[in-house]
Amino acid sequence: MLIYCKDKKIDKLINHNGGYKNKGNALFLILIAVALFATLSYAVTQSGRGSGNVDREQKILAASEILQYAASVDQAIMRLQIINGCGDNEISFENINEPGLYINLNAPIDKSCNIFDQVGGGIRWQASPSEIRLDASLGQYKFKTGTTSLNLNGIGVAGNGDLWLVITNSPNFGKTGARFVEVCREINKKLGNPIFAGGLGDAPRIISSSPVFNSFIGSYIDGTTSMSITGLPIGTTQFCVEGPSSNYMNYYHLLIAR
């Protein structure tokens, strides 16, 4: 039903109210637009901050992964020594991912002294975190023998070769090396190792000649050179250090001291 209003006052009032209604709708739309813009600006700001947090978390995760892997290798070696009766010279790091690199002729043929075999150490070979790994050498886990200084770790005999898990990389080789420096900073923090502001990754530095490190294939390097690192307390067996070459970062984890 249509109702026609002939009263001009009422008609004017209706038109007047309709005008206010239209103006109110426009103001409401403007307020919504302002609110959406503020929300978008906040989201962009937070995403920028979030990327930094994610990056830090990735470094912390990479540091934790390295330390956990080193601990698993420690446990595997203990199993070989205590349960399987393996001698220091019989331990083998032979694996299908690095053919020919760790062949130990002293290891039993039944593989009971092989770290990466179910009848031996029972753990799987794994690559280092991809963000710190340049290739098969730089940034990768390596099992090395080399000498240490007795005043470095306070155990073993000076001049006797030890067994180490080692990672080496450098910012000279781009992004993976730069990230390894940051991951090493996190490793030293987690371990409570001394922090030296101003150095590469705020890490202690090797101040002696370069220690000799060769892939471990059953024989140890004895009496060649020793590694002297300033600032590391007696008993330190896991650490990141700079050097001996400038701008190189190294992670060392002592597996067997002799």
For 161-179, the pLDDT digits (tens) are 889 999 999 988 889 999 9
pLDDT on residue 49: 45
What is the distance between the alpha carbons of residues 170 and 48, in angstroms, rounded to a whole number?
28
Give the residue carrying structure tokens 């092989």: 114
Does residue 93 contact residue 115 with C-beta atoms inside 8 Å?
yes
For the chain, the domains span: 55-256
Whether the pLDDT of residue 22 is over 60: the answer is no
Residue among 131, 150, 149 at smallest CA distance from 139: 131
Average pLDDT, the chain: 80
Range in 34-48, 52-66, 205-219 with the lowest mean pLDDT: 34-48
Confidence of residue 17 (pLDDT cuts 50, 70, 90): low
pLDDT at position 208 is 59
The two tokens of residue 109 are: 């043929």
**What pLDDT, on a 0 to 100 scale, did the predictor assign at position 211?**
61
pLDDT class of 13 with cuts at 50, 70, 90: very low
Contact 114, 92 (CB under 8 A): yes
pLDDT range class, residue 159, cuts 50, 70, 90: confident
Whether 233 has a pLDDT exceeding 90, the answer reads no
- Taking only the tens place, the pLDDT of each residue in 181-203 is 999 999 999 999 888 776 787 88
Determine the Cα–Cα distance for residues 137 and 148; give it in Å rounded to an integer: 22
Q: Please determine, for residue 44, whether its predicted confidence score (pLDDT) is greater than 70.
A: no
